[in-house]
């Protein structure tokens, strides 16, 4: 009745004339009020009644009114229009109350239950309290509706299923739970491609003990004074999968094999990835290969040969076994099966050393962290978390693959000028200027023009790596751009290379399949087909989704693991990885878990405590007590399942309270 009242409309217009009209993101406080964040420097108060019309993360347009309260001016935002709702498609858990159905979104910042209805393809009786579902937001209060309302569109799993972290995470990101299927036996394509017969050469594969999708094999020999010739043979799924076929389309959509803790979803049908294409020992397999001659200083000869071939792997070796033997022939419990394989390993280790030296001098090598593997029961319980450090055999394979990828990148660039490239530009101009300021404050003088060149970036990285701590390196890394997938060649600053394109994992990466087809076109003297930018963007997005999914499942598993440790007072060594106004983010060295230390655990008097994200330091009474990259000891205080967070407490020291 009052909605179209002329007097009310006139009053609103008068109020607006004295107010600002702004856009921003809603930030909710647990006490019921909120803030409209317009920029990192500007935010406006949202009172509790107005917060009922919005939720945390909504992008809204609001009227900001100025009030005088206690002789102070107060700026209050009144949201009026939804621009982008925080929730659209989301996952959550079922709640039943007063014969009505609600869904609680599985979001760290959201606790409100949203009333919902069920899609026609889901039986209402099948849903129980706590079950996991997918829903879509249908009504928003700022869109002319009185309340939030959602529709349940997909059932994920029951509340009792202990494997829910995997199924919920895959559903959240709309990722497949199973690999593509192969409806009929796959025959090789007639590619009009002559294959060299290398089946008598003693190729070997080196992988983890349980690897089934084996995609690379190596053979090496001495071909002159201080010269090595390496043949890298790569599994060839494009010999079976034609362009735009059903399998090719499915692989294109997935873009990558999705590796999650204790579980992976293959990009290709497992009959192909684990059997037909896998370079299993004693099985004749088609491959795409390259032959590279390397001098004693690690420089590859310009005459790199790419060709199609047949190989038969002599044996499937395991990283740890090979590393043990190369570390100490006498003490190793494992020995190569014969002198031929022993010779191969010795020469490959020599290649590793000279190529590693070449990359230190001509490119970049970053310091690495161990990978952490969850040991899981069949029901998803975390039995243990083990650190897996990269060893000699891992580096042998890495150096061989990087060398082969560099050679392919140069060939594709020179022949076609297109392909699927991994590109990283280091800094853009704006971030370079910020980096230069930070560097200058720590006694390193440079300029933004220099560090935005490949050689300038290399020099900077080597200088940072030579410092006694990684503090400054950490501070600078936050200004760097992310790597991208591009169809045109470009530098990879992170690797310190002029150009980089992978083709060595076609079983697991669709971009490598694309590059295989382009390399085959070069071998046959044909014109290649340039991949679309849409494909590159899709692969970039899928890579991001897969990484987020892996992190989310890991978060759940860490929570399960630490639930058993809370209260034990066990001490953990941890690295400070970030500083925020609220406290410290740390990474436990023993198992890789990320935890949070609230500022109240650092010092009891808040006025005496300064936590600076920009500087990466914590001060008490103007004395620096913590810096990013510092190592500290902590105990686990609590595990919060609702916010997916592990709360730690620093072990008392001279400056703690």
Catalytic residues: 207, 213, 215-216, 319, 508
Backbone Cα Rg of the chain: 29
Cβ pair 524, 413 in contact under 8 A: no
Residue 461 tokens read as 């990285």
DSSP β-ladder status, 204-207 and 149-157 = unpaired
Using CA atoms, how far apart are residues 489 and 421, in angstroms rounded to an integer? 6
Residue 600 tokens read as 């109240």
Residues 6+ away with beta carbon under 8 Å from 97:
113
Percent of residues in the chain assigned helix, strand, coil, to nearest 5: 30, 30, 40
Sign of the CA dihedral with 177 first, then 532, 245, and 236 last: negative
Tell me the C-alpha to C-alpha distance, in Å, between residue 254 and each of 205, 216, 257, 538: 26, 21, 7, 9
Can you list the alpha helix ranges (DSSP code H) found in 228-313? 246-254, 270-271
Instruction: Tell me how far apart the 2 most distant CA atoms of the chain are, in Å.
Output: 97
Strand order in the sheet with 195-197: 195-197, 305-312, 284-294, 227-235, 216-224, 204-207, 315-318
Using CA atoms, how far apart are residues 405 and 524, in angstroms rounded to an integer? 20
Place of tokens 């497949």: 176
User: Cβ of 193: how many Cβ atoms within 10 Å?
Assistant: 15
Sign of the CA dihedral with 319 first, then 322, 323, and 324 last: positive
Closest to 612 (Cα-Cα) out of 602, 447, 481: 602
DSSP 467: S
Using CA atoms, how far apart are residues 447 and 436, in angstroms rounded to an integer? 6
User: Cβ of 315: how many Cβ atoms within 10 Å?
Assistant: 17
Residue 572 tokens read as 């953990």
Tell me the C-alpha to C-alpha distance, in Å, between residue 263 and each of 177, 341, 591: 10, 32, 19
What are the counts of helices (DSSP H) followed by strands (DSSP E) for the chain? 15, 31
Cβ pair 403, 300 in contact under 8 A: yes
User: Cβ of 270: how many Cβ atoms within 10 Å?
Assistant: 17
Closest to 112 (Cα-Cα) out of 217, 26, 223, 187: 26
Using CA atoms, how far apart are residues 264 and 96, in angstroms rounded to an integer? 34
Q: 586: part of which helix (H) or strand (E)?
A: strand 583-588
Cβ pair 618, 626 in contact under 8 A: yes
Closest to 80 (Cα-Cα) out of 57, 102, 54: 54
Residue 435 tokens read as 């980096």
């Amino acid at each position: 009745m009052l909605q179209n009242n002329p007097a009310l409309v006139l009053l609103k217009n008068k109020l607006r004339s004295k107010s600002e009209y702004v856009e921003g993101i809603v930030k909710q406080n647990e006490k019921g009020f909120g803030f409209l964040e317009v920029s990192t420097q500007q935010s406006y108060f949202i009172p509790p009644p107005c917060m009922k019309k919005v939720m945390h993360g909504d992008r809204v347009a609001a009227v900001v009114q100025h009030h005088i309260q206690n002789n102070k001016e107060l700026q209050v935002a009144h949201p009026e229009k939804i621009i982008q709702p925080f929730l659209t498609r989301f996952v959550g858990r079922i709640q039943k109350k007063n014969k009505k159905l609600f869904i609680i979104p599985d979001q760290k910042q959201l606790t409100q239950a949203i009333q919902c209805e069920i899609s026609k393809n889901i039986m209402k009786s099948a849903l129980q309290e706590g079950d996991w579902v997918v829903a879509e937001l249908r009504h928003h209060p700022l869109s002319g509706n009185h309340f939030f309302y959602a529709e349940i569109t997909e059932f994920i799993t029951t509340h009792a299923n202990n494997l829910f972290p995997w199924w919920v995470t895959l559903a959240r990101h709309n990722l497949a739970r199973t690999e593509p299927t192969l409806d009929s036996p796959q025959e090789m394509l007639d590619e009009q491609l002559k294959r060299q017969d290398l089946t008598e050469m003693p190729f070997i594969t080196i992988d983890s003990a349980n690897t089934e999708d084996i995609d690379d094999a190596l053979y090496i020999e001495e071909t002159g004074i201080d010269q090595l010739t390496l043949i890298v043979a790569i599994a060839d799924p494009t010999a079976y999968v034609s362009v735009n076929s059903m399998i090719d389309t499915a692989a294109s959509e997935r873009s990558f094999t999705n590796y999650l803790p204790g579980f992976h979803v293959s990009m290709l049908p497992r009959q192909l990835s684990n059997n037909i294409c896998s370079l299993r020992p004693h099985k004749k397999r088609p491959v795409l290969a390259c032959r590279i001659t390397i001098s004693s200083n690690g420089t590859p000869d310009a005459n790199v040969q790419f060709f199609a071939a047949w190989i038969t792997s002599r044996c499937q070796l395991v990283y740890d076994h090979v590393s043990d033997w190369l570390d100490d022939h006498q003490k190793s419990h494992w020995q190569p099966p014969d002198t031929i394989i022993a010779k191969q390993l010795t020469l490959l280790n020599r290649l590793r050393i000279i190529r590693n030296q070449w990359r230190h001098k001509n490119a970049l090598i970053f310091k690495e962290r161990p990978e952490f593997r969850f040991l899981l029961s069949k029901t998803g319980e975390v039995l243990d978390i083990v650190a897996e450090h990269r060893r000699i055999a891992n580096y042998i394979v890495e150096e061989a693959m990087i060398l082969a990828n560099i050679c392919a990148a140069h060939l594709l660039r020179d022949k076609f000028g297109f392909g699927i490239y991994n590109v990283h530009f280091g800094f853009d101009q704006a971030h370079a200027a910020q980096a230069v300021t930070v560097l200058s404050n720590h006694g390193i003088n440079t300029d933004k023009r220099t560090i935005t060149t490949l050689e300038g970036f290399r020099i900077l990285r080597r200088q940072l790596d030579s410092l006694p701590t990684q503090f400054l390196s950490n501070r600078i890394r936050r200004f760097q751009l992310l790597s991208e997938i591009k169809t045109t060649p470009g530098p990879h600053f992170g690797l310190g290379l002029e150009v980089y394109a992978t083709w060595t994992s076609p079983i697991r990466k669709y971009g490598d399949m694309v590059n295989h087809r382009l390399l085959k076109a070069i071998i046959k003297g044909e014109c290649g087909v340039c991949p679309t930018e849409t494909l590159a963007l899709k692969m970039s997005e899928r890579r991001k989704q897969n990484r987020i999914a892996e992190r989310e499942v890991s978060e759940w598993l860490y929570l399960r693991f630490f639930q058993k440790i809370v209260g034990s007072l066990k001490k953990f060594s941890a690295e400070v990885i970030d500083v925020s106004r609220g406290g410290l983010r740390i990474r436990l060295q023993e198992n890789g878990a990320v935890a949070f230390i609230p500022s109240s655990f650092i010092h009891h008097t808040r006025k005496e405590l300064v936590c600076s994200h920009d500087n990466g330091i914590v001060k008490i009474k103007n004395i620096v007590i913590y810096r990013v990259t510092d190592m500290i000891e902590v105990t686990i205080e609590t595990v919060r399942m609702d916010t997916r967070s592990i709360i730690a407490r620093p072990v008392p020291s001279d400056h703690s309270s």
